[in-house]
Each structure stands twice: as C-alpha cells, then as structure tokens.
Amino acid sequence: MTPSKTSRRSTASATARKAKTSKRKTAATPVVMRPGRLVGKVALITGAAGNIGEVIVRRYLEEGAAVVMAGRNRNKLEALRETLLSSSGAAPEQLLALAFDASDAGQARQGVEAALAHYGRLDVLINNAGSAGPKQPIEQLPLSNEELEAQRSAGSPDTETVSDAAGNLLGLSWNMVRAAAPHLRAGASIVNVSTIFSRTRYFGRAAYVVPKAALNAFSKQLALQLGPKGIRVNTVYPGPIESQRIRTVFAAMDQLRKAEAGTTASEFVSTMALTRSDQEQRLEQTFPTVDDVANTIVFLGSDESRAFSAQGFEVTNGMQVVQESRSTWVSRPELRTVDGTGSTVLVAAGDQVADALMIARIQARCGARVMLGLGSEEAVQAAIAALHDDEVDLRILPRLFDRERPETLSQSLADVDPETGLQGAIVLPAFGAWRFQRALAEATDADVEAFLKTELSGAIGIARELSRLWHRLAPKGLSPRTIFMSNGDDAVGNTWADILRAGIEQLIRVWRDESSARAKSGERPTPEWSNQILRWSNAEEHGLLFAASQAARLLYTKRRVPQVNLYMPATIVDATGSTRPNFGWIESLMGLHLGKCVLITGGSAGIGGQLGRLLAVAGARVMLTARRADQLKEMRDSIVRELEEIGYNRPKDRVQILANIDVAEEGALVKSVNATLKAFGRIDYLINNAGVAGAEQMAVDLQTADWRTTLQANLVSNYSLIEKVVPLMKKQGSGYILNVSSYFGGEKYIAVPYPNRSDYAVSKAG
C-alpha cells in the first residue's frame, strides 16, 4: 500500500520544515570529498529504493557524490540508507533520504527545496522513478477509478488507471524538472531514464510505454531549451534487464499473445547485435544488467559527458530499434478513385472547430457520413451554426466527444449503425495549437495536468473506445483505420506537439501489434491499422486541405503505409510538384492527352478558351489563336497558373498564343499553322472554333462581300486549315480534327430558322 496524497504532502512538508530549520541553525552540510568521478557533486535520484535506483545510488556513492535518495516509501528509503552506509563506507553526511511523491507537483517542489536546504546545491537530477501501469491490452485499459475498482474486484492486480500511469511516468519527471531547473547551474546534468520498449512493440503495456515514449521527446526538447544555459539533458534506454522479473513479464506477454513460451524473449534477443562473454569468456546471448544501466548514468552525471546533450544512450546489448518510424509525403493526394459512399467515419477534435469542419467536409465530399466529435458543448454549437443546408454538410453530424469524460466517447459511438459500422476515424488533439506555449521547465501545474490527462491519456482513451467498437462491430470486409492528425504549426517550435507525437507513435505501434496478434488468434474479427499525420512541419495555406485529403486516401482505400509518422513536406510544391492538394473531377483529365499538340482557332474565350484549358490540364501543348491580344494573354495566364498548381513541367512553354489572327484571311491561317509547328514540331489535334456572327441582315439585303466574309471565316477557313494539316497528320500516322458548328446550322432531322442571320446559318450548315 502506498501512502495517501495527504500523508505524502504532510511527510514532505515536515521534511522540508526540518531541513529549513536545520539550515537556519547551521551552515549547509559540507559535501564529503572522496576520490572518484563524481567528487563534489550532489545528485538527486528518484525511485532510489527500486531495483535500478539502488544500484545507481551505490555507484554514485562509490564515485564520491553526495546523494539525495527520493522515493515514496520512507521505510524502504531509510532501510536502504542504513544498508548502503554500512556496506559502501560512505559517510552519513553523504546520503540523505527524502520521502515524497513527485507525481504531485507540490511535493516535488518541497522535495527539491529540502535537498537544496541540506546540501546547498544540486548538480545532477536522475529521473529514475516510475510505475508499471495497468497491464492490459488497449481494449481493456481502465480509464476511471470506477473501472479500475471493477477490474480489481474481478481479480486484476493493477493499481493504476491510464492517467495515473501517465502521471507516474512522464508527470513525475516533468515535475522534478520544473522544481529543479531554476536551481541548476551551468554544467549540471539531467538524466531521464526511459526504456527501449518505448520504441518497440510491447504487448499489453500501452499505458506504460506511451508515457515513456513521450518522455523521450520531452528529454530531447528539454535539452534544446536548457542547453543555452549550460545544462545538459540526456535519456537512458535500458533494455530488458537480466532478472527473473523480466522473464515473468515476457512469459505473461506470451500468454496474452497466444504465442509459444519464450517467443517474446527470443524476439527481443534476436535484435541484439552483441553476444557477451561470461567470466569464463564463454559467449552467451543474454540481457544487459542493472550495473550496465548504472554505469551509463554515472558517466552522464560526470564531467566526462560534458559534450553530450539531447542524446539517447541505449543499454540494450545493441538492440536494433529505430529512433522514429517516419516518412514524408512526396505525392499529391489524388481523390479521383477515393469513394467513401456508404461509409461512416469519426472526426474527433477538441476546440479546433474550423479545422475539424474542413477535415469533415473533405470526407463528406468523398461520400462518407461524418460523426464530428468536439470537446465541449460550445464547440458543438459553433459547428452546427457553421454548417450549411447543402448535400455535403448534411452528411456531417456534430456531437459531444469530451476526452475528460470517457462516457461521452462510448455514448457517441453507441449511435453507430450496426449495418454499416464505423469504417475509420481521424483524431485531432484535444486542444488547438494555442493551448501549450510555455517552455517545458516553466509549464504550470494546469498545463502539465491538461497535457497528461486530456491529451496523452485522452488519445489512449479514444483508441480504447474504437478498439472496443471494432471488436463487437467491425465493418464488413474492411480493416478499420484510425488517423491521428496533429495541429498545424504553433509558431513556437512545436515542442509540446513533438512530445504528443512521440506518445501517439508508440500507441499506434502497440495497437497495431495487439490488433494483429489478436485477430490472428481469432480473438478479434479483423485487425485495425493506424497512422499519424504531422501537420506542423508545414505552414502553407493549403496544408490542412492536403492533410485532410491524404487522410481520406488512407481511410477509403486499401493503402497501408508501414511508417507510423507521416510528415507534411515543408513546402508542398517542392515535394510533390504541385501546389493544390486535390482537384476533384478534373483529376480524371490529367495526363489523358499527354504529349499531344493542339491548334485552336478562336481560343481567347468561350468554347475555344475552355477547350484549350481542359486539353492543357490533360497534358497537351496548346496554341491558342484569336484576334484580341489582351484576351488571349488573360486566358493563357489563367491556364498557366492552373498547370503550375498541378505540377506540369515548364507550364509557360505548354501554352502559346498568337494574336491578330483573322481566320477570314488566308495569310493568317498559314501563319497559325507555321507558328504551331515552330513551337511544338507537330499538330495532333486541329480545332476549328473561330468564326464571325455574320452581317445580321435579311437575306435580300446582304451584299456579296458580306456573304464572302462570313463564308470565308466560318466555312472556307475550316477547309483551308484541314488542307494544310491533314498531310502532316497522315505523315505522322495519327490526328484528330474537330469543327465547331452551331445548332442553327441545322441538324439531320430538323432545321432551326434563324431570322436575319442567313449568312451565318448557311456557313455553319456547310
């Protein structure tokens, strides 16, 4: 049994008062100088009475440091102190035991104050304390105390909820950093003890490894923030430590996975590069030891590590584990084959109503029905007010989805249609990018609590609810998908966003593994798949639209990207060649006429201009001719802009214009053909679109010159251009000619009268 919060606070307060009283009576206790690598240094070690902590304390004493042993259990600490003093030869002044619970920010501050009052300084902070977290698959993790008690009543040995574990693993270290950082001087060292399992599969231990993964990124970001002050921060990743305990853990995992005994241990050993020798120099594949971890931490506390910061030290016998599973988008999110018709998806957000609506609308345009979950009633009402009464928005259904109240998650998902099920989900953070802006060592208690309970634990809670839903109601014939999507750039370095990124990466890794193993064993109907899209690596206008479209491609197609983290490119155009994220129906044209060369008369506006645009979008090179230069230039500029957005190479060279072309003049026709051949070298398509409206007089009033002008422009010019182009087409073996006529030129079965326009009608009939 651990002491209550109240008793822990009173114990820590008493310790602090006693230390302060002692300080008033006498000067700070002098540090005992002994030969060793840590002589003159004062180190505070949390979790000091644990398996690793005890060895770290012993080694620090051996190297001459004064040590503050911190932990929750006073009796264990005092007993260990007596044992160490008698066995190590350390002076009593060299070892101080302080009992406090660092998962409580107030107690962490009191503990650091007591250490400073006793020794007058602090040189090394070792965040070694932690807890095991609930040992359950994601689907069964307890989110509330009521759920935890129900599981304990059913025989579960667990003593923590998901948020408890987050506080005991990441929160504890964060509290100690916030308490100690203001008192650390240049040359000080912070060592955060993580685990290599924060970057590997670890069945049934999401509540443990997700906060540890977040701790990894926390360490890196903290090092960047404290480095300019001369304070170094590093992370130690112990591997599976040689002990009966780790073999018991692995055996339990084998049972959960329905795997043969020894499978988990063998898998981890197989990733180790190093085979070690025993005392008899015999090679043996084994696990690293507690001493290996402690020796690494001694090095990081000593001045020998002065050049190391923001580094990870893996004490794993060389386990080959990636730092981060990542990729960057280098393709445009084409949506022409993306069809969400008949699907229902969840878009879960917090207070980012505008972003959530844009993401939801992309999914609705693909045909899906969207459950839009928001973090407060105010956000729900804001979303309802922003929706329109149109085909797309009518598919979007806002509802409350509060991560601080897990019951709202399950209530919302209870509405899923049993026939269609829920195909997938897009999960945004619980807060917008505005929420977390402070430096890590300067964060408030409210900041840390909101991040741990709502952001980090909330993401695990959503994963649990989705996993439960898909266990009982998997969509028929589909593997459900979840896309965790970050906020955009927060303009202050995205420090907190990176911590959340690391935690969710590990959540996805464990979820994939658990889901796959349980589906393989028949415990689940189908495996689930997840990815994470990181938007904060791009600050461009179209970034959100690009990300939402990529999410749609992942949700409604069979595509599976093995890398967990999918970063937005810093510049979309540099990575993909196009600036627009998606193009809707026009995507079906792109590339359709690639390599073709087109001559279009009357191409400055109307039918001719739009034909030129669509053919250029389809990949053709286009010559537009007309009389008015200003209209031609305007049309060309608009087409070139569209080609640039798509990403065609040298878009300006793909569209040429030729002004002052009157198709009633034979010389202008010759000029048009020659200019096209000079620009493109060939003519694949001829589109005779140009013409004149005619004299607009009764037939009896028309002059011969009027007839000739209209017929020359609307009829003879077509024949003239055909005469010039057909030999070229015959020679190249292909070609296409389109003559644009008019309804008033008459049809096969009907002639439509056109009063006062007989010259026009006759020319078009011809």
CB neighbours of 509 closer than 8 A, spacing ≥ 6? 199, 200, 201, 325, 564
The secondary structure of 23-70 as a DSSP string is HHHSPPPPPPP-SSTTTT-EEEEETTTSHHHHHHHHHHHHTT-EEEEE
- For tokens 């709202």, the residue is 408
State the CB neighbour count (10 A cutoff) for residue 72.
21
* 657: its two tokens: 């214009």
- Give the distance from CA 494 to its chain's centroid: 12
DSSP state letter for 454: I
Quickly list H helices, 591-661.
606-617, 629-646, 651-654
Cα–Cα dist 626/618, whole Å: 22
Nearest to 444 by CA among 501, 496, 372, 370: 496
Q: Which is the catalytic residue, given 208, 685, 754, 760? A: 208
Phi, psi of 300 (to 5 degrees): -70, -25
The tokens 């992309």 sit on which residue? Answer: 362
Provide φ and ψ at 402, rounded to 5°. Answer: -95, 115
The Cα 179–Cα 173 span in angstroms is 10
User: How far is it, in rounded angstroms, from Cα 56 to Cα 291?
Assistant: 8
State how far the Cα of 110 lies from the Cα of 463, in Å rounded to an integer: 36
Rg of the chain on CA atoms, in Å:
36
User: Which residues, including other chains, have CB under 8 Å from residue 195's CB and lie 6 or more apart?
Assistant: 209, 212, 237, 238
Can 208 be counted among the known catalytic residues? yes
CA 351 to chain centre: 18
Which whole-number Å values give the CA distances from 552 to 315, 334, 578, 763, in the listed order? Answer: 41, 10, 19, 51
Alpha-carbon span 689 to 626, nearest angstrom: 10
The residues annotated as belonging to the active site are 208
